Amino acid sequence: MPEFPLPAARPLRVAITPPGALLAALAVATLAGCASAPPAPVARSAAVAQATEAAPVATPCPKDIAAIARCLSGQDTAGAYYLIAVPTQWNQHLVLHAHGGPTLGTPKAERSVEDLERWQIMVRAGYAWAGSTFRQGGVEVRAAAEDTERLRQIFVQHVAQPRRTILHGQSWGASVAARGAEMFQRTADGKRPYDAVLLTSGVLAGGTRSYDFRTDLRVVYQYLCNNHPRPTEAQYPLHIGLPADAAMTQADLAARLNECLGLNKPATERTSEQQRKVQTIVNVIRIPASSIQGHMNWATFHFRDVVQHRTGGASPFGNMGVVYKGSADDAALNAGVLRYRADPQAVARFAADTDPTGRIPVPVLTVKGVDDPTAFVELDAQFKATMERGGSAARLVQTFTQHNTHSYLSDPTYPTLMDALLRWVDDGTRPTPEGIASACAAQEARYGKGCAFLPAYVPAPLASRVYDRQRP
């Protein structure tokens, strides 16, 4: 879900360490290259286009694609680092990537290296690939969409004019791509900047709904464990994540969770009390035990980023009216959990930045593992309803797979989806889940096994997975 340089006390950092030679080359290259409705798309495009961007410089590609591609890197005028890969056998199409996360703290060039290493399948399939780190760390969607559009312009100005440009958003980056497709509908010369949108493992219900369950996790965890904060520490409302000046680190939080829940141990080695509490969270919040740590990180450090840097110090998160179910004593749980009311102005500000409108003028194809532990499959039901309200239902096709992973599904999955999108754009053939499932099997001969599409699957409403609540 934008990226300010954060205070030194902010602890969360995702550090990606590529091979040493690549790091050094990237550093040299980048130095050398170095609430209201959304504004009208044309105005946004013009604003991003105002600055003159330096040409990217050659840099070594990640080793797995070094033999089949050339790579370029740089830093744009807003401060975002970027990386571009163009295969030797280029099919003239560009995949413009919006990464997940988001990372907190000042962005580093290595982030785009990690993204390209993960998504090298696009290059292997013949597509040029371009990814931005975004100019700042944190939960700001519109700024990330602007940085992504700026990178598209850099590619067109300094690399080549692609025949087709597919905007690809992964995880939180799917919300960036969805908002970007709404914001940038025409370039200065009246053309479409993006021909289609691919959203994979997406967080697609907008910030005002996608993170409700993490508020629930914070209050239920505190009811069970009472150590975040401890009774001896200064108390604060849990829905702000952390106070601005709190010195807690990710390791500190992990230690508290392990103390109470034994998450660092197999279930058989936890005490009976620890296992009881873990199972209560699993049953009440409806997440697997393996994802408790990750979601608590988000509900702590990312919530603080939102409140301190995006919504004026007030929280857009709340749990008023929630009726929790699944514990050994639901009456005691509902009487004992702390309750918080979301601030209406904070909600409006957060919605203006993160909530999609569904007004996307080009084809949109999505994929989600039905057992995704990070971005629930039910989020896609909410996105479908959003696209219907925005008048874009005919431009949306959703697919689902049997995968239980989030960050990456399988090699043959993505080229299959790209082929389907391009056919849709080029000759108007709207794909079907059945056709995509069938086409994927043919891709396995080239890309290996991994097809797991479920053509008949339809996700349940988001309210069946995440508790409804009072909203401003």
Domain end call among 351, 376, 402: 351
Query: Looking at the structure, do residues 245 and 360 belong to the same domain, yes or no?
Result: no
Give the pLDDT confidence score for residue 2 in this predicted structure.
Answer: 34
- What is the share, in percent, of the chain residues with pLDDT greater than 70? 89
7 lies in some domain: no
366 lies in some domain: yes
Burial (0-12, 13-18, 19+ Cβ within 10 Å), 20:
exposed
End-to-end CA distance of the chain: 21
Interatomic CA distance for residues 66 and 93, integer angstroms:
19
135 lies in some domain: yes
Query: Looking at the structure, do residues 368 and 445 belong to the same domain, yes or no?
Result: yes
Q: Quick check: 369 pLDDT over 90?
A: yes
Give the pLDDT confidence score for residue 33 in this predicted structure.
Answer: 36
Q: Quick check: 314 pLDDT over 70?
A: yes
Which residue has tokens 């993170």? Answer: 211
Query: Looking at the structure, do residues 153 and 202 belong to the same domain, yes or no?
Result: yes
Per-residue pLDDT band at 42 (split at 50, 70, 90): very low
Per-residue pLDDT band at 188 (split at 50, 70, 90): confident
The residues facing 167 across adjacent strands are: 96, 197
- Which value, in Å, is the radius of gyration of the alpha carbons in the chain? 22
Query: Looking at the structure, do residues 142 and 254 belong to the same domain, yes or no?
Result: no
298 lies in some domain: yes
pTM greater than 0.85 (yes/no): yes
Report the CATH number that the domain containing residue 131 is assigned in CATH. 3.40.50.1820
* Main-chain dihedrals φ then ψ at residue 61, nearest 5 degrees: -80, 155
Give the pLDDT confidence score for residue 50 in this predicted structure.
Answer: 57
- Please count the structural domains in the chain: 2
The residues facing 396 across adjacent strands are: 364
Interatomic CA distance for residues 400 and 437, integer angstroms:
10
Q: Quick check: 254 pLDDT over 80?
A: yes
Minimum mean pLDDT among 6-15, 28-37, 284-293: which range? Answer: 6-15
Query: Looking at the structure, do residues 158 and 25 belong to the same domain, yes or no?
Result: yes
12 lies in some domain: no
Query: Looking at the structure, do residues 289 and 150 belong to the same domain, yes or no?
Result: no
Q: Quick check: 39 pLDDT over 70?
A: no
Residue 231: which domain range? 208-351
Query: Looking at the structure, do residues 96 and 115 belong to the same domain, yes or no?
Result: yes
Query: Looking at the structure, do residues 91 and 191 belong to the same domain, yes or no?
Result: yes
Query: Looking at the structure, do residues 191 and 139 belong to the same domain, yes or no?
Result: yes
5 lies in some domain: no
471 lies in some domain: no
Question: What is the average pLDDT across 107-127?
Answer: 97
Domain end call among 351, 382, 397: 351
Query: Looking at the structure, do residues 330 and 383 belong to the same domain, yes or no?
Result: no
Question: What is the average pLDDT across 58-85?
Answer: 98
Domain end call among 351, 374, 391: 351
Q: Quick check: 91 pLDDT over 60?
A: yes
Query: Looking at the structure, do residues 162 and 218 belong to the same domain, yes or no?
Result: no
Give the pLDDT confidence score for residue 67 in this predicted structure.
Answer: 98
Interatomic CA distance for residues 134 and 348, integer angstroms:
23
Per-residue pLDDT band at 34 (split at 50, 70, 90): very low
Q: Quick check: 288 pLDDT over 50?
A: yes
Give the pLDDT confidence score for residue 48 in this predicted structure.
Answer: 65
Query: Looking at the structure, do residues 156 and 294 belong to the same domain, yes or no?
Result: no
4 lies in some domain: no
Q: Quick check: 421 pLDDT over 70?
A: yes
Question: What is the average pLDDT across 424-440?
Answer: 97
The residues facing 401 across adjacent strands are: 369, 453
The residues facing 72 across adjacent strands are: 58, 84
Q: Quick check: 441 pLDDT over 50?
A: yes
- What is the share, in percent, of the chain residues with pLDDT greater than 90? 89
Give the pLDDT confidence score for residue 49 in this predicted structure.
Answer: 58
User: From the CB of residue 1, how many other CB atoms can be counted at a distance below 10 Å?
Assistant: 27
Q: Quick check: 36 pLDDT over 70?
A: no
* Mean of per-residue pLDDT scores for the chain: 91
